[in-house]
Chains A and B, each alone.
Chain A
Amino acid sequence: MSVVELSDVVKRYRNGQELIEALKRVDFHAERGEMVTVIGPSGSGKSTMLNLVGLLDTPTEGTVRLDGQDVTDFSEDELTEERRSGIGFVFQAFHLLPMLTATENVELPSMWDTSRDRRDRAIDLLQRVGLGDRLDHTPNQLSGGQQQRVAIARALINEPDILLADEPTGNLDQDTGRTILDELTRLKEDENIAIVSVTHDEQLVDYSDRIVRLVDGVIEQ
């Protein structure tokens, strides 16, 4: 069973007077242990698709399923719970909180769960992405590649089934981008998770198990 599945999804939104159809009847799925890369030019609707897969937004038509469960009509609070327990995010601009240390940034998604102590897992994850000696550094004391590795550790803190990456190498140079992709590939196998990334960087193609090309809101196989 697919860990996440979009069926016949349409997303329309209004931009001023204009009605934009960002996704036109899209079918998409991702499986555990696979890295799927969605490639397309800007404006092709790939960010919209990632938002739907990440439960940050809801489709105009069609259904979204997580592990076979229809979550299309979930309320915002229910979606938040699903994101919290099942989905990790990595952003192009890292989006770490500047006033927190690397360890605290990794703990952030579980911070409000006072019942669970995630400190050990946060340190373990940081060690696994090679930042064992940077635990108490704040983001401005870390390089771009290091920040993105903190962000990856943060995405994994709640043991998600899916990791979503929006241009994960977009703000990094080629070499650093490659080490990040190596990291993701290794974690995909270790943690048996689905990684869905969205990019226009062809470098990701080499690391992907499957490529999906999106043009003008339509998937080209």
Chain B
Amino acid sequence: MSITELLWRFPSVQMAWRNLGRNRVRTALAMLGIVIGVVAIASLGIAGVAIQQQATANLGSLTDEVMISAGPDSPEDGITEEQVTDIRSVAGDATVVPEKTNHTTLETRDGREVFVGVTGLTQASAMYTVSEGENPDRLQSGALLSNSTAQQLDLELGDPVEYDGQLYRIRGFVESQGGFGRGGRELVLPVSALSEQEYYGSVTIITEDGDQAQEVANALEARFNEGDDEVLSVTSFAAARENVGSFMNTLNLALLGIGSISLVVASVAILNVMLMSTIERRGEIGVLRAVGIRRGEILRMILAEATFLGIIGGFGGALASVGVGLVIFQLVTNDPMLIFSWPSLRYLLLGFGFAVVASMLSGLYPAWKAANDPPVEALRG
């Protein structure tokens, strides 16, 4: 069965299709309005997605971490070995990194000095990224040093640094992670190097994702802090991530709001076009009514015309939005193919659906008006 034959089975659709073909320029302009509306909605929505994905990527691993330090109600001035064991049992399979911190001044032979933070921990590879040299899973001997500090001091791999009277050979240079991250002006030593400190200064738990981080943080609160007591101070950045998320949602809604204004304008244009064309065809609709075409049939025919405008305009708009989306993702995230991921495809569907629904709603009044025009009046034209 050909498409034409299929269309003949839906007379309203068939008639609507032919009517749209009668004034192609007007039909094209009405569709153009819809295309612009859909592009506005979809591309603003997609821009929101792109910004959100980029923001999440920038916050990065930080949101997967839980930071623990001694709270104001802690009996000790730090985190004890027993507490670390408890934390490990609460954290399950997440990586638990207890560390001690201090600071010192490194000095070159020619007398230059640099002030650095000293971190004593074992799981170096879990916390640092090394740009040169090795990054041991368990740091038992030797040291890691910040790139920038090494350059300032003209130190190379294998050179010794001194801390607390002991010499440590540099095994790797760590990269600064920027922002809140680690790795700037920092000397990383085995935890044994800071054995003069009885307790750990902080414990970092690295989880799979932000949700797990939040769960672990809650479990720790329940385990260590009864009532208002704060034996351990537990910080997770999952809350920060939620804040960013809710800000992004607000931003998205605002962008969509702006986009939908243009689609509202487009549907007013469709309302106008449909009203004009039914007024122009008033006599013709009168003839249809005279020869026995029912009111409901006239209504469906004109609604179908408006719906066609919405479907075709919406489809064109969605196609154009894919193009706009490719550019947006290229600019914001450098990965244009993200347009084909569900969060952004969703906005293409939303734009398309919105276009079809808005067009149908715009067609409703002209269709109703044409269908209920008394035949005698309509025939007079």
Binding site for B on A (CB under 8 A): 51, 54, 56-57, 76-77, 80-81, 83-85, 87-89, 91, 95, 97-100, 108-109, 111-112, 114, 154-155, 158
The answer to whether A84 touches B21, judged by C-beta atoms less than 8 angstroms apart, is: no
CB pair B11–A83 under 8 Å, yes or no, is: no
B22 x A56 contact (CB < 8 A): no
Let me know if B376 and A56 touch, CB within 8 A. Answer: yes
Contact of A112 among B290, B294, B374 (CB under 8 A): B294
A-B pairs with CB below 8 Å: how many? 66
Which of B93-101, B262-270, B280-288 is the contact stretch? Answer: B280-288
Q: List 30 A-B contacts (CB under 8 A).
A: A54-B290, A56-B379, A57-B376, A76-B295, A76-B374, A77-B295, A80-B289, A80-B292, A80-B293, A80-B294, A81-B294, A83-B290, A84-B292, A84-B294, A85-B292, A89-B287, A91-B287, A91-B379, A95-B284, A99-B19, A99-B22, A100-B18, A108-B288, A108-B291, A108-B293, A109-B293, A111-B11, A114-B9, A114-B11, A155-B291
Asked whether any CB of chain A lies closer than 8 Å to the CB of B183, the reply is no
**Docked CA distance A77–B291 (Å):** 13
Could you tell me which B residues sit within 8 Å of A by CB distance? 9, 11-12, 14-15, 18-19, 21-22, 283-284, 287-295, 297, 374-376, 379
List of A residues within 8 angstroms of B295 by Cβ: 76-77, 80
CB-based closest 9 A-B pairs: A84-B292, A109-B291, A99-B18, A95-B287, A83-B292, A111-B11, A57-B376, A56-B375, A56-B376
- B12, B21, B284, B290: the one contacting A56 at CB < 8 Å is B290
> Within the assembled complex, what's the spacing in Å between the Cα atoms of A108 and B284?
12
Complex: A91 Cα to B22 Cα, angstroms:
22
Contact of A83 among B9, B291, B376 (CB under 8 A): B291
Query: Min CB distance, B372 to chain A, in Å?
Result: 9
Residues of B within 8 A of A84 (CB): 291-294
**Which of B9, B19, B290, B379 has the most chain A CB atoms closer than 10 A to its own CB?**
B290
Cβ of A115 to closest chain B Cβ, rounded Å: 11
In the complex, the answer to whether B290 meets A89 with C-beta atoms within 8 Å is: yes
Chain A residues positioned under 8 Å from B293 (CB to CB): 80, 84, 108-109, 111-112
CB distance from B290 to the nearest CB of A (A): 5
Whole-angstrom distance between the Cβ of B379 and the nearest chain A Cβ = 7
Measured between beta carbons, the chain B residues less than 8 angstroms from A108 are 288, 291, 293
C-alpha gap A56/B289 in the complex (Å): 9
Bound-state CA distance A3–B288 (Å) is 23
Q: B21 contacts which chain A residues (CB < 8 A)? A: 99
A56 partner residues in chain B, CB cutoff 8 A:
290, 375-376, 379
How far does the alpha carbon of A144 sit from the alpha carbon of B11 in the complex, in Å? Answer: 27
Give Cα A91–Cα B379 distance, bound, in whole angstroms: 10
Q: How far is the CA of A111 from the CA of B288 in the complex (A)?
A: 11
Chain A residue nearest in CB terms to B379: A56
Besides A56-B375, A154-B291, 16 new A-B residue pairs in contact (Cβ under 8 A), listed by A number: A51-B376, A56-B379, A57-B376, A77-B295, A80-B294, A80-B295, A83-B292, A84-B292, A89-B291, A91-B287, A95-B287, A108-B288, A108-B291, A111-B11, A112-B297, A155-B291
- Determine the residue in chain A with the shortest Cβ distance to B381: A93
* B12, B289, B376: most-surrounded residue (chain A CB, <10 A): B376
Q: Which B residues touch A83, using CB under 8 A?
A: 290-292
Q: Residues of B contacting A109 with CB < 8 Å?
A: 291-293
Q: Give A117 to B287 CA distance when docked, in angstroms.
A: 22
**Which residue in chain B gives the minimum CB-CB distance to A84?**
B292
Nearest CB in chain A: distance from B138 CB, A: 80
Flag if B284 contacts A97 (CB, 8 Å): yes
> Using Cβ atoms and an 8 Å threshold, which residues of chain A touch B375?
56-57
Chain A residue at minimal CB-CB distance from B288: A108
B316, chain A: closest CB distance, angstroms: 23
